[in-house]
Copies of this chain bind each other. A is one copy, B any other.
């Protein structure tokens, strides 16, 4: 087994026999990405995804007007990919970019589909993943509905302490749905109040 830590992490979601994990490992390809390099770019077929071995990634959507908003940050052990587009068989509208030099374990979606035929644990895992993703998005929805930008910022650091110092402030702003100028204001407001 080449990636025992990753196996642990994933098997925590659902019972996953080591033998099945080994079958997946041989289908995977390790990929190194420089800082700023894209794992996926808009227009690419959304037929692959990756597990982050090293680094922090951001999933970005570029709007029609050219503004970019950030759907998620992903660090070690987490999944990267254009999940919604994959489910719908559409090309990616998301780009996934390394914020630091990183490494991912890349899979072809069709390879995993093939494994599903061999053992029910993979379908079960796919379900768990969908459910977890749903829970996170619903939490985010609630934050947009109920919280001000300042409160969302506070939550963000509570929920993502491991990203501290690893993601530029402008990207945090794009995640919160505000501009970097507004975020800078909020931060300095808080700084003053803290004195």
Q: List residues of chain A with CB under 8 Å of any chain B CB.
A: 61, 63, 67, 69-71, 83-84, 87-88, 120, 123-124, 126-127, 130-131, 133-135, 137-142, 144-146, 177
- Bound-state Cα–Cα, A120 to B121, Å: 12
Q: How far is the CB of A13 from chain B (nearest CB, A)?
A: 12
Question: For A71, what are the chain B residues with a Cβ–Cβ distance below 8 Å?
Answer: 138, 141-142, 145
- Bound-state Cα–Cα, A27 to B83, Å: 34
Indicate how many identical chains form the complex: 2
Decide if B146 touches A61 in the complex (CB within 8 Å). yes
Question: For A63, what are the chain B residues with a Cβ–Cβ distance below 8 Å?
Answer: 146
Question: For A123, what are the chain B residues with a Cβ–Cβ distance below 8 Å?
Answer: 120, 123-124, 127
Q: How far is the CB of A89 from chain B (nearest CB, A)?
A: 12
Q: How far is the CB of A140 from chain B (nearest CB, A)?
A: 6
- Bound-state Cα–Cα, A69 to B70, Å: 23
Q: How far is the CB of A153 from chain B (nearest CB, A)?
A: 15
- Bound-state Cα–Cα, A64 to B47, Å: 42
Closest CB pairs A-B (n = 3): A130-B130, A137-B137, A69-B145
Question: For A137, what are the chain B residues with a Cβ–Cβ distance below 8 Å?
Answer: 134, 137-138, 140-141
Could you say which of B69, B131, B138 contacts A142, with CB atoms under 8 Å apart? B69
Question: For A142, what are the chain B residues with a Cβ–Cβ distance below 8 Å?
Answer: 61, 69, 71
- Bound-state Cα–Cα, A87 to B145, Å: 21
Q: List 21 A-B contacts (CB under 8 A).
A: A69-B145, A69-B146, A71-B138, A71-B141, A71-B142, A71-B145, A83-B134, A84-B135, A84-B139, A87-B134, A87-B135, A88-B135, A120-B123, A123-B124, A123-B127, A130-B130, A137-B137, A137-B140, A140-B141, A144-B144, A145-B177
Nearest-CB residue, chain B, relative to A133: B134
- Bound-state Cα–Cα, A137 to B84, Å: 10
Q: How far is the CB of A192 from chain B (nearest CB, A)?
A: 25
